[in-house]
């Protein structure tokens, strides 16, 4: 009777080891967004900037002081201007917005509108995970993941310092990937510092 018990124990150990290895591989796959190509993030860093909620625009309509002002992009991706009302700007570039405002003003309000638009303040970025002060922060131009973490107070005691997870909206969809610390950060990005294993 001892042999069957021993073989049952051996079978259980083998099964437990197989399950553990399978789960380990599964969890490793889930925890490694680096399976996405990092070049996707470096390529999107040089694409024209598109506007979204949280951005603030400085609009100047030459010769029309009442229309020239700073306008915040609301949660619906619009700005509200005198005369022409709500203007959708979500997903547009600054030149696109200039053309859109000029076209609306030309439609019965201003004969030859000359419009200049610039981003007065970019939407914030977010730092999560193993950092000293997780939260949202104002965007600073020419920022990398490393400088973003420094703004958040630096790595926490258990923060993994080899790479970070970056989440960015690309073509209208959020994409997450494991990237090096010198990767450029864009407005609206979320940087997540994982906990180191050892």
pLDDT in tens, 117-134: 999 999 999 999 999 999
Please check the confidence at residue 27 and state whether its pLDDT lies above 70: no
Burial letters 78-88, b for 16+ CB under 10 A, else e: bbebeebeebe
Tell me, yes or no, whether 111 lies in a domain. Answer: yes
Structure tokens at 149: 């973490």
This model's pTM is above 0.85 = no
Measured CA distances, 100 to 47, 69, 71, 145 (Å): 20, 16, 15, 34
Residues ≥6 apart with Cβ < 8 Å to 79:
57, 59, 71, 72, 73, 86, 87, 89
Please check the confidence at residue 82 and state whether its pLDDT lies above 80: yes
Tell me, yes or no, whether 165 lies in a domain. Answer: yes
pLDDT of the residue at 45: 65
Number of domains present in the structure of the chain: 3
Tell me, yes or no, whether 78 lies in a domain. Answer: yes
**Could you tell me the CATH number of the domain that includes residue 60?**
3.30.1950.10
155 with 170, same domain: the answer is: yes
131 with 187, same domain: the answer is: yes
129 with 173, same domain: the answer is: yes
Q: Of 87-101, 128-142, 160-174, where does mean pLDDT reach its minimum? A: 160-174
80 with 139, same domain: the answer is: no
Mean pLDDT over each residue of the chain, to the nearest integer: 83
Q: Is residue 71 within a helix (H) or strand (E), and if so which, with residue range?
A: strand 69-72
181 with 132, same domain: the answer is: yes
Q: How far apart are CA 110 and CA 77, in angstroms?
A: 24
Q: Supply the range of the domain harboring residue 23.
A: 1-31
Tell me, yes or no, whether 157 lies in a domain. Answer: yes
Please check the confidence at residue 48 and state whether its pLDDT lies above 80: yes
Q: Of 8-17, 27-36, 41-50, where does mean pLDDT reach its minimum? A: 27-36
**Could you tell me the CATH number of the domain that includes residue 175?**
3.10.560.10
pLDDT in tens, 165-194: 999 987 778 889 999 999 999 999 999 999
Burial grade of 25 (CB within 10 A; 0-12, 13-18, 19 or more): exposed
26 with 41, same domain: the answer is: no
Please check the confidence at residue 158 and state whether its pLDDT lies above 70: yes
Q: Is residue 147 within a helix (H) or strand (E), and if so which, with residue range?
A: helix 145-151
More confident residue, 42 or 157: 157
Tell me, yes or no, whether 198 lies in a domain. Answer: no
């Amino acid at each position: 009777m001892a042999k069957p018990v021993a073989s049952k124990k051996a079978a259980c150990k083998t099964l437990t080891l197989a399950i553990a290895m399978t789960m380990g591989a599964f969890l490793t796959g889930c925890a490694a967004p680096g399976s996405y190509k990092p070049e996707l993030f470096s390529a999107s860093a040089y694409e024209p900037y598109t506007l979204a909620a949280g951005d603030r625009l400085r609009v100047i309509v030459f010769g029309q002081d009442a229309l020239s002002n700073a306008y915040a992009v609301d949660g619906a991706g619009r700005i509200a201007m005198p005369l022409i009302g709500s203007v959708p700007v979500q997903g547009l570039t600054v030149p696109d917005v200039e053309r859109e405002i000029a076209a609306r003003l030309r439609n019965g309000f201003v004969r030859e509108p000359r419009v200049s638009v610039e981003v007065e303040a970019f939407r914030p970025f977010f730092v999560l995970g193993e950092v000293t002060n997780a939260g949202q922060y104002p965007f600073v131009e020419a920022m990398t993941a490393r400088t973003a973490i420094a703004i958040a107070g630096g790595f926490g005691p258990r923060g993994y310092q080899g790479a970070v997870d970056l989440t960015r909206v690309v073509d209208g969809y959020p994409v997450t990937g494991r990237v090096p610390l010198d990767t450029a950060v864009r407005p609206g990005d979320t940087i997540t510092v994982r906990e180191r294993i050892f």
